[in-house]
Amino acid sequence: MLKKTALFMLLSIGFSGMKAQQTIPFRITKHNNIIVKTLVNKKDSLDLMFQIAMKDYSLSPERKRKADHIIFSKEEISDHNTVDIGKITQKNVRFFDNQLTGHEADGKIGTGIFDGKAFKIDYDNNQFVIFDKMPDLNGYQPLNIILDHEGFYLAGDNIINRDQQQEAYFVLQSGFSGAILYSNEFAEEKHLDKRLKVIGEKTLKNSEGKTLTTKQAILPYFKLGKSVFKDIPAGFFSGELKTQNVSYLGADMLRRFIWIFDADRKIAYIKPSKYFSEPYYKMN
């Protein structure tokens, strides 16, 4: 009897340990965006793009699937919604309306579903993992992060030429398909249009005749933690319109690692994913 009791206790401990984490499957588009299948208010089936730079949810004006059971106010906000993702149910969810999203998505899903928990973005197995306590971090390297206005900021080293290495802070931006996009301030201060090899550009004008030029260039080296990347596509803007206030570390760079974020959002742990050495995404 004692042996059976001990065996039952061991099995119970094992099963309770298994329940200490939950998984959410996703798929990755050819534009490096993460798509999560959701059921909203038990009625509307939506494909939502994961946006690490926001907390709540949103719908796109260009969505292909119906969302008739999400009722918005005049301010284009909808509260008290329920979202089912696999076996996970999240209640009292807020949606914003008319926010643009990535290819193949009806809207966006933010990080709110991970509140108070450590979580992993596992690009090798196409899934998020939510932890009640930190998992084994063997093989991962830590990076300090700063959480500010729902954005995750971290430092990266930019080798613009052989004798100039510049540290800059980047906000993780899973909605931007490319690798790096620099802020106007960084691009102007470091004279990127003169110091980097520009491989493409496009100029637009607004209704007032003011110009905005997007430029694609090649950054010789970029260092994130201990990992070094060579000849990375990097974008920046020039012209009269100064719209890019922060620098982005985009989805092409995010997918090259498996990420674990602690519950306090103070440290991200990374290790190379199966995409680490893949060719860089080409922006149009």
- Annotated domain spans of the chain: 20-131, 141-272
CA 123 to chain centre: 12
Tell me the whole-structure pTM to 2 decimals. 0.89
> For the domain 20-131, what is the CATH superfamily, name and number?
Acid Proteases (2.40.70.10)
Per-residue pLDDT band for 91 (boundaries 50, 70, 90) equals very high
Do the domains at 20-131 and 141-272 have one common CATH topology? Answer: yes
19: pLDDT strictly greater than 60: no
> What pLDDT shows up at residue 14?
39
> What pLDDT shows up at residue 240?
74
Query: Which one-letter DSSP state was computed for residue 213?
Result: E
144: pLDDT strictly greater than 60: yes
261: pLDDT strictly greater than 90: yes
The C-alpha torsion from 238 through 242 and 247 to 248, rounded to 10°, is -90
What value does the mean pLDDT take over residues 231-237?
94
What value does the mean pLDDT take over residues 86-108?
94
Residue 56 near residue 112, CB atoms below 8 Å: yes
List the single range of 44-48, 59-63, 207-211 with lowest mean pLDDT.
207-211
Q: What is the pLDDT of residues 270-282, one digit of tens each?
A: 999 999 999 999 8
Q: What's the CA gap between 181 and 231, in Å, rounded?
A: 14
Residue 212 near residue 243, CB atoms below 8 Å: yes
Q: What's the CA gap between 62 and 151, in Å, rounded?
A: 25
Q: Which two tokens stand for residue 167?
A: 């540290």
> What pLDDT shows up at residue 8?
42
Q: What's the CA gap between 117 and 120, in Å, rounded?
A: 10
> What pLDDT shows up at residue 4?
47
> What pLDDT shows up at residue 207?
63
Torsion sign, CA atoms 263, 100, 93, 36: negative
48: pLDDT strictly greater than 80: yes
H/E stretch holding 11: helix 2-18
- Main-chain dihedrals φ then ψ at residue 95, nearest 5 degrees: -115, 140
> What pLDDT shows up at residue 163?
66
11: pLDDT strictly greater than 60: no
Q: Which fold has domain 141-272?
A: Cathepsin D, subunit A; domain 1 (2.40.70)
User: Which amino acid is present at 196?
Assistant: L
